[in-house]
Amino acid sequence: MQMKILFLVRGPDSLASTRHRVLFPSRSLEQLGHRCTILDSRKYTLYGTSFLAPTPASYLKAILLSNRYDLLYIQKIADPITRLIQKIWKSRGGKTIFDFDDALFLYKKNGPLRWNPIVMNLDGIIRHSDHVIVGSHFLKDYAITINPNTSIVPTPVNTDLFQPDGTAKKNRSDKITIGWLGDPLIHRENLKILPDPLKTLGKKHKIRFKMVSALGKQQIRDIFHPIEKILEIDYGGNRWLDISRIPAQIKDFDIGVMPLADNGTSRGKCALKALQYMSMGIPVVASNIGESRFIIQDGVNGYIAATPEDWVEKIDALIRDQRRRKEMGKAGYQTVRAKYSLNVFVKHVGAILEGLESLRSPQRGNHG
């Protein structure tokens, strides 16, 4: 049976989590007959702290539409107003799902504010949701202690966008491209893992390191400036690209890397970067942190690196062996198609919706 779903989200669809966990899935859900509406959000500044949250009009719509929709799907926002809206929905017999893909529980303290407003009511919203959907095992370990109705549904890859390029790979005499994709300022500490291994590899092989994208940030150039004489560094463009243009930017990667510092934020990540490489048939080397440990079988569909020596050894093995790159890339592609595609995500969410549909209050069966 089809449902009417109202999405209350933290950020616009330019935000990766909104795009991959709400926008793309909502389109697929609509093809299955569900009606989906995504409410707007905006950027706020409070006491010098900036954050994303729904617009005032979206909060109001979420209240006014509570009798006309079956499900409120709350994505990554847990402020006091959202908690109030959840209470209103529950009082009127509506169902709520809470979805998050970052370790929000680590962000409760934020600068001059005693509490980060977007997560102030995190535990309450988790506790009172009919179902909680998380993007990683680390997040599930937290949420399930508050609400046993918690499921892991990893952030999916749109395999219609991210798919193997199919063009012939370069000759062995050409430089090998080691690539990275992401927001440079968010991942600045993670990127600091790479210069030493790249320096060692650059002394042995003709390589270049390509970032999509450093956005012209001097902080990122400062990290890699000391090795610019040893290997080519491509800092990429200085502006954000639409998601539809990203595959064309990374298709020349021979090896994709996903370094992560060992901290709570990294442990909560969904490894989307690695999955996007894998979906395009690009062999991946990732830190032994967080969800990578559950996605990557070391030496089969990718490599896991725990030490600087691992980074050198495993990237070196891929540089030296074109056949291994091809086989590992193919295995990674098959992993994504089988477990982490948008279709798989929608199937999992659809099963959760069916479970909630069976519990729906009879009086909400018809809508005006």
pLDDT (tens digit per residue) in 50-92: 889 999 999 999 999 999 999 999 999 999 999 999 999 999 9
Q: Is residue 34 domain-shared with residue 132, that is, in the same domain?
A: yes
Inside any domain, residue 248: yes
- pLDDT band at residue 171, thresholds of 50, 70 and 90? very low
**pLDDT surpasses 50 at 266:** yes
The answer on pLDDT for 172 being more than 50 is no
Same domain, 297 and 264: yes
In a domain, residue 306? The reply is: yes
Whether 1 has a pLDDT exceeding 90, the answer reads no
Q: pLDDT class for 364, splitting at 50, 70, 90?
A: low
The CATH number for 250's domain is 3.40.50.2000
Q: Are residues 184 and 312 both part of a single domain?
A: yes
Q: Which residue has the tokens 């690009």?
A: 282
Average pLDDT over residues 317-336: 97
- Phi and psi, residue 123, nearest 5°: -65, -40
In this predicted structure, the answer to whether residue 216 has a pLDDT above a threshold of 80 is: no
Structural domain range at position 65:
4-156+342-362
| pLDDT tens per residue across span 278-316 | 999 999 999 999 999 999 999 999 999 999 999 999 999
pLDDT bin (cut points 50, 70, 90) of residue 129 is: very high
The pLDDT of residue 361: 57
Residue 169 has pLDDT above 80, yes or no: no
324 and 190 part of one domain: yes
214 and 289 share a domain? yes
Residue 27 has pLDDT above 80, yes or no: yes
Residue 40 belongs to some domain of the structure: yes
112 and 180: one domain? no
Looking at residue 368, its pLDDT comes to: 44
SS3 sequence, the chain? CCCEEEEEECCCCCCHHHHHHHHHHHHHHHHCCCEEEECCEEEEEECCEEEEEECHHHHHHHHHCCCCCCEEEEECCCCHHHHHHHHHHHHCCCEEEEEECCCHHHCCCECCECCCHHHCCHHHHHHHCCEEEECCHHHHHHHCCCCCCEEECCCCECCCCCCCCCCCCCCCCCCEEEEEECCCCCCHHHHCCCHHHHHHHHCCCCEEEEEECCCCCHHHHHHHHHHCCCCEEECCCCCCCCHHHHHHHHCCCCEEEECCCCCHHHHCCCCHHHHHHHHCCCCEEEECCCCHHHHCCECCCEEEECCHHHHHHHHHHHHHCHHHHHHHHHHHHHHHHHHHEHHHHHHHHHHHHHHHHCCCCHHHCCCC
Give which of 180, 53, 55, 156 is closest to 104, Cα–Cα: 53
Question: Is 190 inside a domain boundary?
Answer: yes
Confidence at residue 72, expressed as pLDDT on a 0 to 100 scale: 98
Domain count, the chain: 2
Same domain, 150 and 297: no
> Is 168 among the domain residues?
no
pLDDT for residue 109 is more than 80: no
Mean pLDDT of 162-184: 79
Mean pLDDT to the nearest integer, 348-368: 73
Q: Both 195 and 130 in a single domain?
A: no
* Same domain, residue pair 336 and 353: no
Residue 143 within a domain: yes
Q: Which residue has the higher pLDDT, 332 or 43?
A: 332
Residues 187 and 312 in one domain: yes
Our CA dihedral for 98, 99, 103, 104, rounded to 10 degrees, sits at -50
For residue 170, tell me if it sits in a domain.
no
Residues 267, 298, single domain; the answer is: yes
Q: What's the pLDDT band for 19 if we cut at 50, 70, 90?
A: very high
Q: Looking at the domain assignment, is residue 191 inside a domain?
A: yes
Residue 59 sits in the same domain as residue 94: yes
Among 36-50, 107-121, 189-203, which stretch is predicted with the lowest mean pLDDT?
107-121
